[in-house]
Chain A
Amino acid sequence: MQPDRHEVQVSVNGSAYRREVESRMLLSDFLRHELLLAGTHVGCEHGVCGACTVLLDGEPIRSCLMLAVQANGHELSTIEGLAQDTGELHPIQQAMHAHHGLQCGYCTPGILMTMMAFLRENPAPSEQEVREALSGNLCRCTGYQNIVDAMLVAAKAMRASVP
Chain B
Amino acid sequence: MKPAPFKYIKASSVAHALSLKAEYGDDGRFLAGGQSLIPALNFRLARPAVLIDINGLAELEACDCLEGGRLRLGALTRYRTLERNGDLLRACPLFADALPHIAHPQIRNRGTVGGNLSHADPASELPAVTVAMRARMRVKSEAGERELDAADFFVGLLTTDLRPDEMLIDVTLPVQKPRSGGCFLEVARRRGDFALAGCAAVITLDDGSRCTDVRLALCGVGETPVDASGAAAALIGEKGSDKLIDAVATDVQRGIAPAGNVHASPDYQRHLAGVLSARALRKALQRVAHAA
Contact = CB atoms under 8 A, between A and B. Distances in A.
Interface of A: 1, 3-4, 6, 22-24, 26, 29, 45-47, 50, 53, 56, 59-62, 64-67, 69-70, 114, 118, 132-133, 135-137
B64 to A, nearest CB: 22
B196 to A, nearest CB: 17
A23 B55 CA distance: 15
Contacts of B4: 24
B107 interface: yes
A114 B108 CA distance: 13
B178 interface: no
Contact of B104 (A1, A29, A46, A135): A135
Contact of A47 (B35, B53, B80): B35
B12 interface: no
A23 B8 contact: yes
Contact of A136 (B2, B80, B105): B105
Given A23-B51, A47-B35, A6 B8 contact: yes
B35 A65 contact: yes
Given A64-B42, A135-B192, A4 B5 contact: yes
B43 A4 contact: no
Given A4-B7, A6-B8, A46 B103 contact: no
Interface of B: 1-8, 31, 34-35, 38-39, 41-43, 51, 53, 55, 80, 103-107, 109-110, 190-192
Contacts of B191: 132, 135
Given A135-B190, A136-B103, A136-B106, 7 more contacts: A4-B6, A4-B8, A23-B51, A24-B2, A24-B4, A65-B110, A69-B8
Contacts of B8: 4, 6, 23-24, 67, 69
Most buried by B among A6, A24, A53: A24
A64 B53 CA distance: 17
